[in-house]
Homo-oligomer: A and B are copies of this chain.
C-alpha cells in the first residue's frame, strides 16, 4: 500500500506561490504530462502512479520520491 502527501504538498505550494496557477490541479497535470483526472485520483489515493510519474512528481516538488510516497506493508 502506498500513501502519499500530494494533496498537502500541492496546496502548500498553491498558497506560497506567486504564480499560483502553476499549482492548480490542471497546471500541475499539464507540467507532468497527465490529465487532471490522474492528479485527482492520486490525491484521493484511488490508484498509485507509475514509477516514471513518481519521478516526474518528485522533480516538480524538488524532493525525493521517498519524501512524497511511503510504502506500507499490507500486513500492518
Contacts and interface: CB of A to CB of B under 8 A. Distances in A.
Nearest to A57: B51
Interface of A: 2, 48-56, 59, 64-66, 69, 71
Total copies of the chain: 2
A68 to B, nearest CB: 10
A51 B4 CA distance: 12
B50 A71 contact: no
Contacts of A59: 71
A2 B55 contact: yes
7 contacts: A2-B51, A2-B52, A52-B71, A54-B54, A64-B64, A64-B66, A65-B66
A7 to B, nearest CB: 17
